[in-house]
Homo-oligomer: A and B are copies of this chain.
Amino acid sequence: MIPRSTVARLPLYLRALEEIAADGVTTTSSGELAAIAGVGPAQLRRDLASLGSHGVRGVGYDVAHLHAQVAAVLGVTADLAVVIVGIGNLGHALANYVAGAGAGEGFRVVALLDTGAVVGTTVAGLVVEHADALEAVVEREAARIAVLATPADVAQEVCDRLVAAGVTAVLSFVPRVLQTPDGVDVRSVDLARELQILAFHEQRKARGAPTTTAPPE
């Protein structure tokens, strides 16, 4: 019903709406919202129309109403329990970010897991537990969402255990393609991949630009 690519943009609109609301604006237009979200106005209108939105022709969109609607569609109205596995520098940063307002209001970090010296210490207001208790923790918290920030060589194993314990959505920061059964969603954030994509475009600029455009001076 709602296209994948639209879903991927809804968070941008949600944030744009929050930004606008913070300025005290109560009504906005596709043009204004699109500019903040970094997309085209026609695309924004189609996206919002696909979720049954009712803007007012000739006027625009009601900021508060639209925000509530987008939040409802995304399912970030109730707090979703999140377990974070791997509390190195990265996991530490992620824990603070999600526990703070960073990830929006829809998420609650309920447990941190690791196997190393950080076990027993307090991070982002939670005591780090030992990953041996992974299954118990996931079931205790009824967590469906896990963030994976472990070393690469144990990631698949940890992922398998998470899924077996009831996790159905994984956000992985590990540079490996994870194997999961149907019904489990995996999203992967991959620093190396992003840098390599940038490198490709850098190369094209360095090679192509001087021949297709006049070199600067």
Residues of A within 8 A of B (CB): 7-8, 10-12, 14-16, 36-38, 73-76, 80, 82, 88-90, 92-94, 96-98, 102-104, 106-107, 144-145, 168-169, 171, 175-177, 183, 185, 187, 189-203, 205, 209
Contacts and interface: CB of A to CB of B under 8 A. Distances in A.
A199 B75 contact: yes
Nearest to A73: B200
Given A12-B193, A74-B199, A185-B201, 6 more contacts: A7-B200, A15-B175, A89-B89, A90-B90, A90-B93, A103-B192
22 contacts: A7-B197, A8-B193, A11-B196, A15-B176, A36-B177, A74-B197, A75-B199, A75-B203, A80-B202, A88-B93, A89-B96, A90-B90, A90-B93, A93-B93, A98-B195, A102-B192, A103-B191, A107-B195, A144-B202, A145-B195, A171-B195, A185-B198
Contacts of A176: 15
B102 A177 contact: no
A104 B192 contact: yes
A21 B166 CA distance: 35
Nearest to A72: B203
Nearest to A92: B89
B197 A187 contact: yes
A12 B171 contact: no
Contact of A171 (B80, B96, B104, B198): B198
A169 B202 contact: yes
Contacts of A80: 199, 202
A210 B7 CA distance: 22
Contacts of A76: 196, 199
A98 B36 contact: no
B194 A189 contact: yes
A28 to B, nearest CB: 15
